[in-house]
Structure 1
């Protein structure tokens, strides 16, 4: 019989919160039924299967995608709009990770912490690639909202924020393809209106 003091179910409850936790950036911009944190991490993880690069550990990248926002199950999705400094955000998230890994030592909790810290420190090729995937998923989602809501360039700020920040060649190619596809959204718009963000 399984020990009744196992914390696995409590860990599952925390992870379950991520399935329903909306991403703050979309909430602020009044996107209805917006993407959740878990949805964001899932697509990032799936993108690792498409990478053909041989200069990074893809399995480690996959795990990092699934770990990098775990702390948000406790602290929420903190952004600069939340009035929290970068330093305080990092402190809160690190403390949250400590709480989570103490629940599941049987699930290699220390490894989850090391993956989180590796991503935060951005000092390995794997961490840098996962950050690229993080940004790429964000602009993919922005494009999908613009397309589905028929609001070309309404979320231009997300593209501006990531411009020139992608480092991995494969992800850069995906970004170029997305930008080309996105340009088609504005092609039919006349009289220069496509140059103005629709939520400005």
Structure 2
């Protein structure tokens, strides 16, 4: 029992580092960038609050688990802003190595479960993962709208880029959420560009 708890505590202490990984998105009030720990918590609340917008075959408890785990790999690989330019194959390899290392701190059956949930989220093929990915893409534009543009201004983003990189993912798993926010984003661009 002590060895199992030691492993679980090693994992929990390691993932505390997620609070130090800064993201491109600011808080809603624009006072500072959010960290990846805050982002994971926030989108877990998005899942609880917006569950009614999920398809009938979506298990919100599994979605919340995925959202709490999905960015843990950033402890090793860092945040890769959606509007940045990265070598996607390199990022995927770094994140896979990070998943194996960090989740590997856990007892073996928990490690397998968490790695499985993380990989399912990344693949975005199951109904749960598709909805989780939609929420992961839906939260940042809401924060950018609340903060007066946030990372859109910093990265000089245009609406068509948001539509292709964000909108397509949100619409795939939560079409009502994209229908809700797209006009708000368009209105922001009409007033600010």
TM-score range, shorter chain: 0.7 to 0.9
TM-score, reference length from structure 2: 0.76
- What is the aligned counterpart of 1:68 among 67, 70, 77? 70
Return 5+ residue gaps in structure 2 as ranges: none
- Residue 189 of structure 1: aligned partner: none
Q: 2 CA distance for matches of 1:84 and 1:18?
A: 21
Once the two structures are superposed, the pairs formed by residues 48-197 of structure 1 within 5 Å of their partners are: 48-49=47-48, 50-52=50-52, 53-79=55-81, 84-105=86-107, 108-146=110-148, 159-160=162-163, 161-165=165-169, 166-168=171-173, 171-180=174-183, 194=191, 196=193
Query: CA distance change for structure 1 residues 66 and 180 in 2, over 3 Å: closer, same or farther?
Result: same
Q: Which structure dedicates a bigger proportion of its chain to strand?
A: 2
Return 5+ residue gaps in structure 1 as ranges: 187-191
Q: 2 CA distance for matches of 1:79 and 1:155?
A: 12
Contact 1:128 1:167 in 2 (8 A): yes
Q: Which structure dedicates a bigger proportion of its chain to helix?
A: 2
- Residue 13 of structure 1: aligned partner: 13
Contact 2:11 2:105 in 1 (8 A): yes
Indicate the structure whose relative CO is greater, using CA pairs within 8 Å and at least 6 residues apart.
2
Aligned alpha-carbon RMSD (Å): 3.2
Q: 2 CA distance for matches of 1:119 and 1:93?
A: 13
Contact 2:8 2:107 in 1 (8 A): no
Q: 2 CA distance for matches of 1:78 and 1:159?
A: 16
Aligned residues: 180
Contact 1:146 1:155 in 2 (8 A): no
TM-score, reference length from structure 1: 0.74
Once the two structures are superposed, the pairs formed by residues 30-49 of structure 1 within 5 Å of their partners are: 32-49=31-48
Q: 2 CA distance for matches of 1:139 and 1:183?
A: 11
